Amino acid sequence: MPPAKVPDTPVEHIVDLLEKAKKLAEGNGSIPEELKSYLQKALDIASGLDDYLERMTTQESEPLAELYKKTVSHDWEQAHKEGKTIFKLPKECVTGHVEGQTLKMLVHMSQAKRVLEIGMFTGYGALSMAEGLPEDGCLVACELEPYLKEFAQPIFDKSPHGKKIIVKIGSAMDTLKELAAAGEQFDMVFIDADKNNYINYYNYILDNNLLRLQGVICVDNTLFKGKVYLKDTTDENGLALRQFNQFVSDDPRVEQVIVPLRDGLSIIRRVPVASACSSSRSVTDDEVFRGVGGHLILDRMHLGGKVAYVTGAGQGIGRAFAHALGEAGAKVAVVDMDQVKAAAVVTELSLKGILAFPIAADVSKPEDVQRMIDSIVSKWGVIHIACNNAGINMNSNSEDTSLEEWDQTFNVNLRGTFMCCQAAGRVMLKQGYGKIINTASMASLIVPHPQKQLSYNTSKAGVVKLTQTLGTEWIDRGVRVNCISPGIVDTPLIHSESLRPLVQRWLSDIPAGRLAQVTDLQAAVVYLASDASDYMTGHNLVIEGGQSLW
């Protein structure tokens, strides 16, 4: 007969006590049936909770429990069956799915790239967190016992995420000192080690800035079978964790919530600015210290609540701009002559949870431009960010450039940009706020060669002067106007057979040694669209790998 299961978590203790109470009630004829019914209902609720959470929690892309079962050698399991003390296949390898997925989700939510784990044990938690890290992410696991690394390493080796894990054997505090001396910092820290040292680990991490600003510390077992809040507890670990929880609650450097998951999980966030002003006379309490309006620099780059549109957004640079603005938090109207392409980009954005809708418009037509603006205002009420990106390019020798080519190029590149600026500007001037970002070109600064593109070069130079003029005229009414001048951008067309000789010539003219990718331009459009660029107007932001300098 297998041994009775020992309760481990508060819920398991409640279930155990309710089962005992139910047996006593069933053996006592004087207990009212109504009370027995209440006991059964309470038992059903408590006993069903863990199973329900297990079923409802998203399954791992890699079933870690199965990986552990398959990897643990026969010798380990046989030793356990024979009652030897070599090692015990831990319960968490089978029942840790919810905890593992919780840690993985916290890694995702904190956008962590570097994680520190104090107390690796079997490596189950480490591998769960590693799964949430990006490919270039890293998890440093501190473990006292060498045999636990011997146990976990073969499992890490079989997982595609195991390469992200570095195990350091020895005293956790010694490892923390080593990491601090090396200037290491982490986005997230997970502590599941000796309970009496929780406070020491926690303080050392914060005092030595091992946790980055706004980073997260997760601490396991902080309810410890309910003993942290039972008044009559004498359990050493329970008392240590009670002291730890209270210490964190009183610490002005952080904010904390204790989640009653299994045996308790504390989620502790390092706040942007603690009460350092009152504790240190050397602190200058100004916007540099606290952030403009209380917002630190990355927060000021966020576009949450903003409404943007991007023309020429069905492909190339415009598509990249639409994704960048949406990822930064803006709602995005995707504008393109081709309704199908615009709709396809909207689908991409929607899959990321970005609010977007398509608009078919030809920016060379004033009625289309006005309809575009009216559609956005009708749907979302405002326009904060106008990204005028649509453009065309036709090549010809200057003596052969036709008026038709000239007019067609200018109608889109300069006239269309002007009409979009004017129509969006009217809305923004009434609002008293707006960011207009035009796409110019490196061709506004130099004459790219050997291709002949008189109308394109001249139209893009006009976009720069248009930007400078509007930028100085409208800034005192809250509207900033800037432009981005990309170099030669790598597109499918660039790789056509006819352009291959030109590409080699262009590469020889670029100090960076490569063509621009559309992703090289995304941070610039987010910066110009954000509050962080409020003092910039009429500026031509050149991103061309140094080509215009040679």
Point out the residues that are catalytic.
456
Task: Quickly list DSSP for 340-403.
Answer: HHHHHHHHHHHHTT--EEEEE--TTSHHHHHHHHHHHHHHHS---EEEE-------B-GGG--H
Contacts 24+ apart (CB under 8 A), 466-473: 466/414, 466/417, 466/418, 466/421, 466/438, 467/436, 467/438, 467/440, 467/538, 467/539, 467/540, 468/538, 468/540, 469/538, 470/421, 470/425, 470/436, 470/538, 471/537, 471/538, 471/539, 472/537, 472/538
Quick one: which of 312, 388, 328 has its CA closest to 530? 328
Residue tagged 């006239």 (tokens): 415
- Asked if 153 and 167 count as a contact pair (C-beta separation under 8 A), the reply is yes
For the beta sheet containing 385-388, the strands, ordered from the edge strand earlier in sequence to the opposite edge, are 356-360, 331-336, 307-310, 385-388, 434-439, 479-486, 540-543
Please, which residues have CB within 8 angstroms of residue 82's CB and are 6 or more apart in sequence? none
Number of CB atoms found within 10 A of residue 526's CB: 23
**Residue 48 Cα to chain centre, angstroms:** 34
3-state secondary structure of 310: strand
What does the alpha-carbon distance between residue 220 and residue 189 come to, in Å, rounded to a whole number?
Answer: 11
Phi-psi region of 48 (alpha: psi -120 to 50; beta: other; left: phi over 0): alpha
Position 319, amino acid: R
What does the alpha-carbon distance between residue 144 and residue 192 come to, in Å, rounded to a whole number?
Answer: 12
Question: Phi and psi of 484, rounded to 5°?
Answer: -115, 130
- Asked if 456 and 393 count as a contact pair (C-beta separation under 8 A), the reply is yes
